[in-house]
Amino acid sequence: MNLFVLFVVAVQIHRVTPLIHSLIYFTVVSYQIPNFPEYLTVGYIDGVPISHYDSKSRKAKAKQDWMNKITADDPHYWEKVTQDSSDNQHSFKVNFEMDQERLNQTGGLHMFQVMSGCEWDDETDEVDGFQYIRYNGEDFIAFELETMRWIAVHPQSLFTKHRMDQWDMFNQYRKHYYTEECPSWLKKFVNNGRDFLMRTEIPKVSLLQKTPSSPVTCHATGFYPDKAELFWRKDGEQLHEDVEVGETLRNHDGTFQTTADLKMPATADVEGRYECVFRLSGVKDDIVTKLEISGILSNARIREEEEKREMMVSIAVPLAVLAPVVVVVLVKLYKSRQAKYTPASVDADCEPASKSPSEPVSEPASNSPASPFPSAT
């Protein structure tokens, strides 16, 4: 594992501890790379982008709204950052060109990558600083804070090491920056962005599967901070085999997502025995999702549901067309029955049969054929 990757892993391990905060600046100096600025620097607080400057825009700007709170105490803060970035751009360019000539690499595509910053433990108040430089994707040189000396990581960086070790005043300032100035800014930024940086957001957890024979993926998205665990349990015991945990990735809204694959198909005999567990730092209760086939979102199940919907539509459409026809038939049948059972009309020229004036005209019986339905009385 190279030095740069080792440092990134170390920072991630530190960030699992909720009391350690970091302020890191990533700077890229490039040569003849199409559609890419010659100079770019981006600042991060606890992995959250906070500032941006590049040689095309030539203006430093905030990446988070709460970063502009700093102007309440220092109205010209962003103008100063712009000027400092412009000065650093010129300095990096000069040193870059010197190293290219010394290494006989003046032609082609080349890139310097610089990562520098500090960490602060808000419980013990301990601070630490660092600077690592890579050249064309390889570790090149690093600054050691305790000795104020440069470490030649690459054989071709020995000349650069000796040259930079002689800059006593520069190295003294660098130590002061990493132990005093950088932590001071870090504390201010953390205080201004506390509501954002120290917030807690619970994720949505889903079980996913491509095909019935594919691994079951437990997917958690929308959580913050990234100090979280996602794992599988069987019969209450955490699984370490047949499980593959994915990377923690940042969403566009600043929250995070991650996955944990259970490398076995979901069958009826495993239902209820397996469960996916999401654990977020600072949150008491875990989110537990039991493995149930009916709860898995899969392409096959989605297609099956779509086929069922299409079948229901195929049945419903003919019924909708047939319904008016049935109504018409029923109406005609009803009218024909009415016509069949309606009493004959009386000729106007004929007199009805004589009845005794004292004899009342009788009403039809309750279930008279004149009515198609039984009487309610």
Q: State the CATH number of the domain containing residue 273.
A: 2.60.40.10
Residue 210 one-letter amino acid? K
- Residue 161 CA to residue 140 CA, distance in Å, equals 10
Q: Answer with the one of 197, 213, 233 that is the final residue of a domain.
A: 197
The answer to whether residue 347 is domain-embedded is no
- Residue 170 CA to residue 160 CA, distance in Å, equals 14
**Residue 54 and residue 191 share a domain:** yes
Residues in the chain: 377
CATH of the domain at 76: 3.30.500.10
pLDDT tens digit at each of 377 positions of the chain: 444 444 444 444 334 344 789 999 999 998 878 888 999 999 999 989 999 999 999 999 999 999 999 999 899 999 999 999 999 998 888 877 777 777 776 667 888 899 999 999 988 999 999 999 998 889 999 999 999 999 999 888 888 899 889 989 999 999 999 999 999 999 999 999 999 999 999 999 999 998 888 899 999 999 999 889 999 999 999 999 999 999 999 998 889 999 999 988 777 777 788 999 999 988 999 999 999 988 899 865 555 555 555 556 555 555 555 555 544 554 454 455 455 544 444 343 433 333 333 333 333 333 333 333 333 33
**Residue 54 and residue 172 share a domain:** yes
The answer to whether residue 41 is domain-embedded is yes
**Residue 215 and residue 187 share a domain:** no
Token pair recorded at residue 104: 């006989």
- Residue 128 CA to residue 219 CA, distance in Å, equals 35
Q: Work out whether the CA dihedral 181, 117, 110, 156 comes out positive or negative.
A: positive
**Residue 218 and residue 137 share a domain:** no
**Residue 225 and residue 177 share a domain:** no
The answer to whether residue 57 is domain-embedded is yes
**Residue 182 and residue 86 share a domain:** yes
Q: Answer with the one of 197, 232, 261 that is the final residue of a domain.
A: 197
Angstrom CA distances, 5 to 9, 10, 12, 135, 154, stand at: 6, 9, 11, 14, 15
The answer to whether residue 338 is domain-embedded is no
**Residue 149 and residue 75 share a domain:** yes
The answer to whether residue 354 is domain-embedded is no
- Work out the number of other CB atoms within 10 angstroms of the CB of residue 28: 19
**Residue 218 and residue 193 share a domain:** no
CA-based radius of gyration for the chain: 40
Give exposure, 271-294, as e/b (b: 16+ Cβ within 10 Å). eeebbbbbebeeeeeebebebebe
Token pair recorded at residue 162: 């000796």
Task: Name which of 169, 131, 170, 173 is nearest 153 in CA terms.
Answer: 131
Q: Answer with the one of 197, 222, 237 that is the final residue of a domain.
A: 197
The pLDDT score that the predictor gives to residue 8 is 45
Tell me which residue range forms the domain holding 212: 204-298
The answer to whether residue 323 is domain-embedded is no
Angle at CA 38, nearest 5°, toward 34 and 42?
A: 115
**Residue 69 and residue 23 share a domain:** yes
**Residue 186 and residue 228 share a domain:** no
The answer to whether residue 133 is domain-embedded is yes
The reply to whether the predicted model has a pTM over 0.75 is no
The pLDDT score that the predictor gives to residue 66 is 96
How many domains does the structure of the chain reveal? Answer: 2
**Residue 290 and residue 212 share a domain:** yes
The answer to whether residue 100 is domain-embedded is yes
How does DSSP classify residue 201? Answer: B
**Residue 293 and residue 275 share a domain:** yes
The pLDDT score that the predictor gives to residue 95 is 77
Beta sheet of 127-135, edge-to-edge order: 61-62, 48-54, 39-45, 20-31, 110-121, 127-135, 138-144, 149-152
